[in-house]
Structure 1
Amino acid sequence: MPRNRVLTAVVAAASISLLASACVGSSDSGANDDPDAKTTLTFWHGWSAPSEVKAIEENIKSFEKKHPNIKVKIVKGVTDDKLNQALRTGGSNSPDVVSSFTTDNMGRFCTSNALADLKPFLDKAKIDPAKVFVPSMAKYTEHEGKRCTVPLLGDAYGLYYNKDAFKEAGITEPPKTFSEFDKVVKKLTKPKGDTFERLGFMPNYLGYETTVEHYGNAFGVQYLDGNGKSNTAKDPAVKNMLKWQKNLVDELGGFQKLNKFRTSLGDEWGPKHPFHTGQVAMQLDGEWRGKMAADAGLDFEIGAAPLPVPDDQVADYGKGYLSGTILGIANNSPKKNAAWELVKYLSTDTEAVVSFANAIHNVPSTVAALNSPKLNDDPVYRTFVDIAQHPKSSHAPSSVNGGAFLLTLQDSAQKYENGKEKDLDALLKKNDEQVDKDNEQAG
C-alpha cells in the first residue's frame, strides 16, 4: 500500500473536524444480527492500484466461499474524508466494514465511537490481540485501552541503498549509527555546481518519507507525556533529532540548495523516483519500495537495512518506524456480527494475510503469517519483516486529535531546518503550547 504519509496525515487532519463536531455513535456495540443469515456487507477500502484492488478482491472471494451466506459489496479507493463523513451520518449506502491507511487517525476513530468496540468480538472468538498480532501493531490499533480497530498488514520503514554506489565509494556495509551515516552520505554525494549529480541522502523534511515521525523512532522520541501533554520541549531526543537533521542539511550545502535539487526530482510513486534514477544513493522508505524498484528495471543492485540510530543507542539498531492499514466495523452498522466475520477473516486468517501481503508487498500483521513458509523470501523484503518484529519498532502514540500533533511538530521542524526559527528551545515550547491547545479543543 504505497502512499505518501505526509499527504495522508494532511488529509486525516482535514477530515478530523468531521468527527470532532459530534459524537458519531454510542459506545455500545449493539450486535444483534444473525451472522448465519443471508446478508450483504458493504466494505470500503482505500486501495486503488489495479494489483492492490485485485488482491483484496481475491481475498473477498475466498471469504465468500467460506461464508456462502454473506456477500460483500466492495467500494475501492475511498478517501478518509469520505469515510469519516459516512461513519458520521450513516444511511443505507454507508459501509459496514472499513479500512483506513491513516493509522494516526485511530485515536479519533475510537474516542468518537465512529467504529465499534471490537473487544467483545475478540473475547468471544478467544483471540488475544497481543499474541495473535505483531505486538507493536496490536498496540497502534487501540487507544487508551479501547480497541476499535485491528491491523490489516503493516508498513515497516528502513534504509534502501545503491550497492553499486557503495562499491564505487569503497563502502562495504550500511551504516549503523548516525555519525557513520553522515560520513557515508557525504562520501556518496557528488556536487555539480549549485546542484548535485548525486546526493547521498535527502534529509529535508519535505523530502519523500523523511518526516519527523519517521525519524522519531530512531531517536526514541516521546511525543507525549503520561498525561497526554506535548513533551517535545522536555524530551532531549527531540532536540537531538532536530539538531542532527539540521547539521546534515547544512553540511550538504544548506536548505535552499537541497530544496532546489528536491524540486527537480521525479515523482515519488513513478519510475523516475530519484532512488530509481540514481540521483539519490540512499532512501528512507517502506517495504513497498523494493517491488517498485524491481518493477522500474534498475540498472544497479539495491540493498536494504534498518535506519541508523544515535551513537549512544547502537544496541537498538534494527528497529524502525511502523505503520499500517487499520480495519474496523462501522458503529452504525446493523450487521455487526456478520461484519465481524469479515474482519476476523481478513485480519487473522493466516492464508488470507500471507497471500495479501505477498500480492501487495506489505508486511504481515500476524505472528503466524510472519512465520509462514509461504511468505515472500526476497532478502530485501525480509529486511522489513525483521524490522517489524524488532521489540523497539513502533508507531507514534495515538491521540484524541489524530495525527495533528505530528503535523505541528513537522511544521516546527521545517522552520528550524530552513533557518526561520533559530532558538530551538523557544520553538519547541511554542510547539507544545500549540499541540496542547489543539488537543484540548478536540477532546
Structure 2
Amino acid sequence: MKKQLLLTSLSIVLALSLAACGNSNSNNNSEGATAATTGEKTKISYWTGDRHDAEFIKEKVAEFNETNTDGIEVELVVKGDDFDTALDLSFQTADSPDVIRVKENTIGTFYKKEYLAPIDEYLSDELKAKFPEMADLNTFDGKRYSLPNYGTTMRLIYNKDLFAKAGVTAPPTTLQELVDIAKKLTVAGKADGAYGFAQNFKNPASALGRSARVIAEMSGFGGFGYDFKTARFDFTGFKSIIEAFKQIKDDGSMLPGVESLDIDPLRAQFAEGKIGMYLSYSSEPGVYSTQFPAKIDWAAAPAPTIDGNAKGASGFLGGQWLALSAKSKHKDAAWKFMEYMYGDSILTAYQEKGFGISMVPSISAVAKVPEVNGIEGFLPNKYDGVWPVYPIVAPEGMKSDDAFFKYMLNGGDLGAVITDLNKRYNSALDDAITNDGLVAKPDPGFDPAALAGKFAK
C-alpha cells in the first residue's frame, strides 16, 4: 500500500456488506428501503487529495461499508496533486464524485464553479451547535457547504541527526539562516547523498503554498499576495523569499530533481535521511508514523521569517472537510456517509492518531494529545492564527507560483516579474469585481500580528 501511495493517483474500491448509520430524512429511508428490497447497493464515491491519512480513511470507509444498514457502498478515490484538475474534468463528464474533500483554498473555487450542494437541510440543531459556522470557509451566501474537522498548522521540518552532524544547534529563524544552514547541511551530508533543503516543485503551487506562503504570513504579508489593507494584490513581500530559495538552489543545497518531485517522494527521501529541511503541514507526524516510518530523529519548528521578526501569523488552516457534490444522484446516501465520518469517534481518533488538530470545540475538549513522534512541534503556538479569505481571481498568463519557480530555474529580473504579477492579478481582480460581483474592500486597520496566538493553549 505504501508503494501505491507514491502514485500520483490511486483508486481503492472498498465494497463489503451492509451496516449502521442513521438519519431520519424521508428520502434516505426511501433510498435505503429500495436497496433493502431489491438487494442492490447504492454506490457512491468519495474523492480526496489527502494521502497522509489514506490508511485511516480507508479503514473507516471499510467499516461504513460493512456496517451501514442502508445498502450504501462507498468507493474511496485518493488523488495526488492533480486533484483539482481531475475534479474539473470529472464535472465535465458523468463521473464526478458524490462526496468531495474540500480545503480552505479550494472550497470557494468549487462553490463558484457550482460543484457543491448546500447541506443545510441535513443539519439538525445539534449539528449546527456542534460545528462552527465560518464565513467564506464553510458558509457562502448564508448556506453551509461543509463542516470542520481539523486545523492544519505549518512548520519547518528538520532532520535533527543531520543538524548534529553539521554542528548546527538550532533551526533557522531568518531567511539568511535558512540559506546558510542549508549549505552546512549539504556539506555535512555529501558523503551520504543528503542535501540541506527540498521542495516538491512537480507542483509549484503545492511547493510554495507550504513554504513561501507561511514565511510571508509570519512576516506580515498575505500568503497569496493579497494585501488586506489596500484590497489589492502586491507580491512585493515575496521578493526576498523567492531570492532565498533561488540562492539555496544555486548553492547546490537543494535536493537534485526537485523540478519533478512530488510531496510523497519528498517525504520518503526525508524519512531516509536524505533531506535536511523542508516546510509543510501538521500532517507530517502521521506520515512518519505510518506511511513512511522515519529512520532519523526529526522535529518541527516555527517557520523562519524574512528578518527574524514575526509581524504576522502562521496560517492555521481549516474550517471544512467533506462536501456534497451538486451532481450527486444519491445525495441522501452521500450525506449518511458524511454524517458517519463526522461522528465523535472518528473525529476524536483523527486527532489522537496525529492526522490533524481538531477545530471542533467539543472534540478538542476531550481528545488527547496524539502520542505521535514530532506532533509537539505542530501544536498551536503564539504564532498561529486564521487569516481572512483572500479573493480568488483568474489572471491571464502565468500564475504567481509558476512565475516564481521559472525565475528560480532561469533567473532574470525578479522585480519585473513581481510588477507583471501585480498588474495581471489586479486586472483580474478588477474584472471580477465589475463582472462577477466579487467584493473586495480595503481594511486600513488590518493588523496581521493581531491574528496570532488565539489557538495556543
Q: CA deviation digits over 1:59-111, x for unaligned, max 9?
A: 5635985x634624324236545544554666xx764x312366533222212
Write the distance in 1 (CA, Å) between the matches of 2:390 and 2:270: 30
C-alpha contact (below 8 Å) 2:315/2:387 kept by paired residues = yes
Matched, 1:350 2:344: yes
Counterpart mapping for 1:199-238 below 5 A? 199-202=195-198, 210-212=207-209, 214-220=211-217, 221-222=221-222, 223-224=225-226, 231-232=233-234, 238=235
Which residue of 1 is the match for residue 417 of structure 2? 427
Write the distance in 2 (CA, Å) between the matches of 1:405 and 1:166: 43
Partner-residue secondary structure (3-state), 2:322:
strand
Give the fraction of aligned pairs with identical amino acids, expressed as a percent.
18
Residue 391 (structure 1) shift: 4.5
Which residue of 1 is the match for residue 280 of structure 2? 285
Question: Aligned AA for 2:355?
Answer: H
Which residue of 2 is the match for residue 34 of structure 1? 27
Write the distance in 1 (CA, Å) between the matches of 2:296 and 2:334: 46
Counterpart mapping for 1:127-138 below 5 A? 127-128=128-129, 132-133=131-132
Partner-residue secondary structure (3-state), 1:127:
helix
C-alpha contact (below 8 Å) 2:152/2:356 kept by paired residues = yes
Write the distance in 2 (CA, Å) between the matches of 1:125 and 1:172: 50
Partner-residue secondary structure (3-state), 1:200:
strand
C-alpha change, 1:54 and 1:167, in structure 2 (3 Å) is closer
Matched, 1:304 2:300: yes
Counterpart among 242, 246, 252 of residue 245 in structure 1: 242
May I ask how many residue pairs the two structures share in their alignment? 396
Question: Aligned AA for 1:44?
Answer: Y
Which residue of 1 is the match for residue 99 of structure 2? 98
Residue 308 (structure 1) shift: 1.9
C-alpha change, 1:146 and 1:417, in structure 2 (3 Å) is farther
Counterpart mapping for 1:34-433 below 5 A? 34-39=27-32, 40=42, 42-46=44-48, 52=54, 55-59=57-61, 61-62=63-64, 65=67, 68-69=69-70, 71-77=72-78, 79-87=83-91, 95=97, 97-100=98-101, 103-122=104-123, 124-128=125-129, 132-133=131-132, 140-142=137-139, 147-153=144-150, 155-190=152-187, 198-202=194-198, 210-212=207-209, 214-220=211-217, 221-222=221-222, 223-224=225-226, 231-232=233-234, 238-247=235-244, 249-250=246-247, 252=248, 254=250, 257=252, 261-262=256-257, 268-270=263-265, 273-294=268-289, 296=292, 298-311=294-307, 313-314=309-310, 319-320=314-315, 322=317, 326-333=321-328, 335-347=330-342, 349-356=343-350, 361-374=355-368, 376-386=370-380, 391-394=384-387, 397=390, 399=392, 401=394, 408-418=399-409, 420-424=411-415, 426-433=416-423
Q: Which protein has greater RCO, CA pairs closer than 8 Å, 6+ apart?
A: 1
Q: CA deviation digits over 1:358-413, x for unaligned, max 9?
A: 568344453333444455222412432436x9642559736265xx7997111221
Q: CA deviation digits over 1:11-56, x for unaligned, max 9?
A: xxxxxxxxxxxxxxxxxxxxx8533444336232236979825634
C-alpha contact (below 8 Å) 1:149/1:326 kept by paired residues = yes
Write the distance in 1 (CA, Å) between the matches of 2:142 and 2:383: 23
Which residue of 1 is the match for residue 35 of structure 2? none
Question: Aligned AA for 2:77?
Answer: K
C-alpha contact (below 8 Å) 1:204/1:249 kept by paired residues = no
C-alpha contact (below 8 Å) 1:162/1:300 kept by paired residues = yes
Write the distance in 2 (CA, Å) between the matches of 1:286 and 1:406: 29
Residue 274 (structure 1) shift: 3.6
Higher share of residues assigned helix: 1
Q: Which runs of 5+ in 2 are unaligned?
A: 10-24, 33-41, 437-457
What TM-score do the two structures reach when normalised by structure 1? 0.69
Write the distance in 2 (CA, Å) between the matches of 1:207 and 1:43: 26
C-alpha change, 1:49 and 1:231, in structure 2 (3 Å) is closer
Q: CA deviation digits over 1:409-434, x for unaligned, max 9?
A: 1122124334543151x322321333
Residue 254 (structure 1) shift: 1.9
Write the distance in 2 (CA, Å) between the matches of 1:163 and 1:192: 12
CA RMSD of aligned residues (A): 4.8
Partner-residue secondary structure (3-state), 1:76:
strand
Partner-residue secondary structure (3-state), 2:163:
helix
Question: Aligned AA for 1:422?
Answer: D
Partner-residue secondary structure (3-state), 1:35:
helix
Residue 352 (structure 1) shift: 1.2
Partner-residue secondary structure (3-state), 2:114:
coil
